[in-house]
Amino acid sequence: MIRFRPQNPELPTKARSRKTIERMQLDIDPEAPDYIEDPYSFFAQLRAEAPVCYSQSRRCWVVSTYDDVAAALRAPAVFSSAINPAGGMDQFTAGLAPPLLCDDPPRHTFLRRFLRPHFTRKVLAAWEQRARAAAEALIGEMQQTSAGGNRSTSWRRSRDRAVDRRRAIAFP
């Protein structure tokens, strides 16, 4: 799923698929327990019923099918990644270069071409051992904590005793 915020919330005809529901409002909370528990059902329903719809809370179009994403990516003047879909952070990010994902051609293309040699299989394979060692250390710490350690901020258990590994890995 890709989120774009068009210059105008009216979805242009050339970026519209035959299944588009133009006025469907959608509120997505990616942190909601139901969404985290089963995102696949949500995406399947979204693709079937509203592959392109507007999220009022996020102030952006949610595009969920390959064909619609491809159409939006071919129209960067209409669907711009450079516009902050969540809003509200502009005062904090003013003056900073946008991340690669939040940039449009031609700057995005230039930066991607510059970075491409640093993300080849050979280069990434060289980093694999370090990444694996770091992940194994974090998992080992989680296992130690679950056996009675005291670092409760790095993981948590739910009612069914499942460990929230996402929090432990993202915020070690």
The answer, yes or no, to whether residue 128 has pLDDT greater than 70, is yes
- Which pLDDT tens digit goes with each residue over 61-116? 788 899 998 988 888 777 776 655 555 455 556 667 777 777 788 888 899 999 99
Name the pTM for this structure.
0.46
At 165 the pLDDT is 65
Q: How far is CA 107 from the centre of its chain?
A: 21
Largest CA distance in the chain: 59
- Other CB atoms within 10 Å distance of the CB of residue 75: 14
* 78 backbone dihedrals φ, ψ, rounded to 5°: -95, -50
149 pLDDT tier (thresholds 50, 70, 90): low
Q: Higher model confidence: residue 122 or residue 28?
A: 122
Task: Please check whether residue 51 is in contact with residue 20, taking contact to mean a CB–CB distance below 8 angstroms.
Answer: yes
Task: Please check whether residue 80 is in contact with residue 6, taking contact to mean a CB–CB distance below 8 angstroms.
Answer: yes
The whole-angstrom separation of Cα 126 and Cα 28 is 38
The whole-angstrom separation of Cα 53 and Cα 30 is 16
Pairing state of beta strands 60-63 and 79-80?
unpaired
The answer, yes or no, to whether residue 135 has pLDDT greater than 70, is yes
Closest CA relative to residue 4, chosen from 99, 48, 68? 68
- Which pLDDT tens digit goes with each residue over 21-75? 444 556 666 667 887 888 888 888 888 888 888 777 667 778 889 999 898 888 8
